[in-house]
Each structure stands twice: as C-alpha cells, then as structure tokens.
Amino acid sequence: MSKVVARIGMSLDGYITGPDAGAEHPLGIGGERIHNWVYGLRAFREMLGQKGGTEGQDNDVVAEWVARSGAVVMGHGMFISGEVPWGDEPPFHMPVYVVTHHPRETVVKEGGTSFHFVTEGPEHALALAREAAGEKGVSLAGGANLIQQFVRAGLLDELLLHVVPVLACAGTRLFDNLGTDQIEWEKVSVIDSPEVTHIHLRALKQAAG
C-alpha cells in the first residue's frame, strides 16, 4: 500500500509559518524565512516550471522526495491560501485531494495538477489518493492541522523535517494538538547542510490500545 509521507520546513522552535497565515500571507508574516532555502533549488524551480537552479545535497533530498509521490492530500486552509498564488499551473503536477467541508467540482489545471474536493473526511481523501498514486506514495502537503490529524490517527508513515536555524517565535506550530501520549519515531537519516538540517523519520507503529 502507498506510503503516506510529508516533508515540511520548520524553524528550530517548531513553526512552519509566521503569524497571520492565510490568503493574504500564505506562509504567514515573515514565514518565508523558514522556507527560503528551497526556493533556489533546481528541483523546486522545476515544480514551478522554471529552468535552472542550484544542485547539490539539498536539491537531491528534495528531488528524491518529490519523485516518490503520485498524489497529494491537502487541507482546506492550505488550498484556500494557495489557490490564487499557484495560478494556472500549480506546482504539484499530480492529483490533489483537498479535505474540505465545501463540495466543489473537480478543477483540472495545466501541467497535470487536478484538485478534487473530498467532503467525507481525511481517511476517504487518503483512500482516493492511494488509488491515484498507484505504486507511488501519497504526499501529505499540510497544513499543520491536517498533518496533526494524520499523526494522531497513525496514518503518517514518514516525515522529512527541514529544520532551519532560526527561532520564528510566532506563527503556526507543526506539532500541536497531538494529545498527551508520547509518539515515537525511528530516525532514518540526518543530512546537514549550512542552511538546513534534513531529519528523515519513520513512524513506529504502536500496538493499538
């Protein structure tokens, strides 16, 4: 069955956006600082339909991860704040299943991205994404709330954190609202670059209790 994987940039203090994230500031105020290491990479520019870019270790990490996935699951909030900036050719280039309470017709964009609006909950969105992904993995894009739901439900198999050496001090924390029980991960690898530390984790499946 498809692995469910998420990769996300995070500050030292656990923030993935700055404050006031939303349609006006998709990454929150100042949130670019958490993600700017990725913008110049060849693999990232390619997702945006741009040529050129930096190669090397960080690019390899991102390129390898992007190639793993065949479908995306995304929360309503992330879709709403991204829809306009992503434009006619969004950077996904695969089917995207948006978990939402708002039914809407499927939107087919250029470059292979289609947005499918799923009102039957995250697990149903995941089932559809698995079917679309085939042999590949399902990428959990965010936002924080949806990732938290997946972690709590034991549905996230792997997590790649890109930790940047800044204290954001405010914004949206990735790890919040996770209940009270500790959740163990196995470290797969840590790859360190000057701008970012890539921590690749695999969920340790707990006995159902």
Q: Which residues bind a copy of itself (CB under 8 A)?
A: 11-14, 19, 30, 33, 151, 161, 163, 165-170, 173-176, 178-187, 189-190, 192, 194, 197, 199, 201
d(CA 40, CA 59): 9
Residue 67 or 167 having the CB closest to a copy of itself: 167
Smallest distance, a copy of itself to C-beta of residue 67, A: 24
d(CA 74, CA 153): 16
Residues making up the chain, counted from first to last: 209
Q: Which of 54, 58, 155, 44 is nearest to 91 (CA)?
A: 44
Closest approach, Cβ 185 to a copy of itself, in A, equals 4
Q: Tell me the closest approach of the beta carbon of residue 2 to a copy of itself, in angstroms.
A: 23
> Which C-beta is closer to a copy of itself: that of 108 or that of 166?
166
Identity of the residue, 108 or 188, whose beta carbon is nearer to a copy of itself in the bound complex? 188
Are the C-beta atoms of residues 72 and 143 closer than 8 Å to each other? no
- CB distance 16 to 162 below 8 Å: no
Q: Which is closer to a copy of itself, CB of 63 or CB of 178?
A: 178
Least distance to a copy of itself from the beta carbon of 179, Å?
6
| Angle ∠(203,208,209) on CA atoms, nearest 5 | 125
